[in-house]
Amino acid sequence: MSLPIWTPAALSSEAHAISGHYWRLVEAQHQVSTLKLVDTLAEQELLEDLLDESKPTLPPECEGLDYLLATPFRYGAIYPHGSRFRRAGRTLGVFYASEKVETALAEMAFYRLLFFADSPDTPLPSNAAEYTAFAASISSKAAIDLTLPPLDRDRNAWTDLTDYHACQALADAAREAGMDAIFYQSVRDPEHGKNIALLTARAFAAREPVERQTWRIRLSSVGVQAICDFPRVRIGFSRADFSGDPRI
């Protein structure tokens, strides 16, 4: 299949402004992983500072950002596997998030199931794992939306379940055009919610997450169950929700 061709000039003509809060999930272990190695909070802070100094450098636009926002933009480390809008290798970072926390949960559920599908001899965890869902405030005058005309005419390329070449080529052109973000349809969410691929940290409108939720996510033979107490929400995904992907 030939790739869609969108030039930087063509993408510039489709730019529009965006503003809102977008959700992302991380394992809650990030908050306490070093605490068990030290005796006091002061020692933990020192250890975290030492670890941070050993990590790849951040671009200037990440200065002052909370690490939850800045981490995807670290340079220097090799990105081991390509993702939808980022090529493998020493490539520029992308911050992926979702318009709704439910869509972010669907994305997380899929990739947790995929991890164990790739390692069939690894037993599923017996207990639920804790995750932090956080909302980032994003604002930009330079975003493109793959779900709207005329870009949606190549919807099949943008929503391919396993082949990301078209999206990666589009991201290259979008960067050249000075775009900050790409909106696109989630192919993991059964409700087809929208995601955002943030190409630069300069589009963050706040230096820290503006909202947080704690979720417990359990994997089972039939699917994924996610529970949040504040607000009280229960969400479940069956394996059939992701069966269109041949890897699951």
Amino acid at 22: Y
Q: Give the model's confidence band at 1: pLDDT under 50 very low, under 70 low, under 90 confident, else very high.
A: low
Q: CA-CA-CA-CA torsion for 86, 170, 9, 93, nearest 10 degrees?
A: -10
How much is the mean pLDDT over the chain? 92
Establish if 132 belongs to a structural domain.
Answer: yes
Establish if 248 belongs to a structural domain.
Answer: no
- Above 70 in pLDDT, residue 51? no
Domain that holds residue 29: 8-242
Establish if 203 belongs to a structural domain.
Answer: yes
Residues with Cβ within 8 Å of 141's Cβ and at least 6 positions away in sequence, in order, are 15, 16, 17
- Above 90 in pLDDT, residue 49? no
pLDDT digits (tens, 9 = 90+) for 146-161: 999 999 999 999 999 9
- pTM of this prediction exceeds 0.85: yes
pLDDT of residue 116: 94
Count up the domains in the chain and report the number: 1
Establish if 80 belongs to a structural domain.
Answer: yes
Establish if 67 belongs to a structural domain.
Answer: yes
Establish if 148 belongs to a structural domain.
Answer: yes
CA diameter of the chain: 58
Establish if 115 belongs to a structural domain.
Answer: yes
Q: Give the model's confidence band at 50: pLDDT under 50 very low, under 70 low, under 90 confident, else very high.
A: low
Establish if 1 belongs to a structural domain.
Answer: no
